[in-house]
Amino acid sequence: MSRYAILIDIKKCSGCYNCFLACRDEFYGNDYPGYSAAQPLHGQFWMQIQEIERGEYPKPKIAYVPKPCLHCEDAPCLTAAKDGAAYRRPDGIIMIDPEKAKGQEAIAKACPYRVIYWNEELQLPQKCTLCAHRLDEGEKQPRCVESCPTGAMVFGDLDDPASEIVKLAADLPVEDLHPEFATRPLIRYVGLPKRFVAGEIVFAGKEGECAEGVKVTLQGGGVNLATATDLFGDFEFEGLNKNEKYRLTVSAVGYREKMLEIVTRKDVNLGEIVLDRV
């Protein structure tokens, strides 16, 4: 039997909202008997797009994190549901029965990711179904995945060794959105936003020139990273741990080596780092 999942690469997501719009188009005003009641006009986002701003001027960043129901293997909503109102299909998709779940607001409240919504008018918890009605009709992908223009979302069968999602998961550093929730989600991620350290190297007495090709290393948190400044004298280290101590070292022939101690309580922009001649 299949076990469906989505792998979302955050670095490929451009924040176009195509997945959000496709989901709205599929479910707003449309009942799918046995699968889901119609999504209301306001208040529900079965495909959330979290915009995460990082850093500050002049080196700000923004990441977009698509977040549907994560279809957890240890789903709290299943524990909260009564009389089979929420259940897991053999293919791993978590469903909320649009008839049995009426009046069971506890199902929505049980979700730690806040992706189950309470429809006050219908007295019904509602969420993403991974377009189960489409899959059962022979479609190959949910609408959100089908609409993604950058390939940031890959849908497939985790029990099929030949599937693209299995191959990608073997080659990439796959993460859970909130590992502390310990729900074993089937929707997983690559490249979730972490801390970064950036700066610009300047040679003393040559402030008008770009210090290209200067070696910069970063040590700490179990990593030993190295890079070289670009054409503009800029450097950057991405994917760093939060609240970690690092030592940054800048070295260039003919100039005094400079070391800086950094703690990544937040994203760090060191600004100009001036190297003095020996």
- CA–CA dist 278, 257 (Å, integer): 9
- CA–CA dist 229, 235 (Å, integer): 5
* Domains recognised in the chain with CATH numbers: 4-190 (3.30.70.20), 195-275 (2.60.40.10)
What's the confidence (pLDDT) of residue 71?
A: 98
Q: How many CB atoms lie under 10 A from the CB of residue 75? A: 23
For residue 1, pLDDT over 80 is answered with: no
* CB-based contacts of 48-55 (< 8 A; 24+ apart in sequence): 48/20, 48/115, 49/15, 49/17, 49/19, 49/20, 51/15, 52/193, 54/193, 54/196, 54/267, 55/196, 55/198, 55/267, 55/269
- Percentage of residues in the chain with pLDDT exceeding 90? 94
Backbone angles phi, psi at 111, to 5 degrees: -75, 115
For residue 245, pLDDT over 90 is answered with: yes
What's the confidence (pLDDT) of residue 58?
A: 87
List, for residues 55-111, the tens digit of each pLDDT value. 888 889 999 999 999 999 999 999 999 999 999 999 999 999 999 999 999 999 999
Tell me the average pLDDT across 2-8.
96
**For the chain, percent helix, then strand, then coil, each to nearest 5?**
15, 35, 50
What's the confidence (pLDDT) of residue 59?
A: 87
Tell me the average pLDDT across 186-204.
96
For residue 146, pLDDT over 90 is answered with: yes
The mean pLDDT value of the chain amounts to: 96
Residue 205: pLDDT band with limits 50, 70, 90: confident
For residue 22, pLDDT over 90 is answered with: yes
Tell me the average pLDDT across 36-40.
97
List, for residues 160-179, the tens digit of each pLDDT value. 999 999 999 999 999 999 99
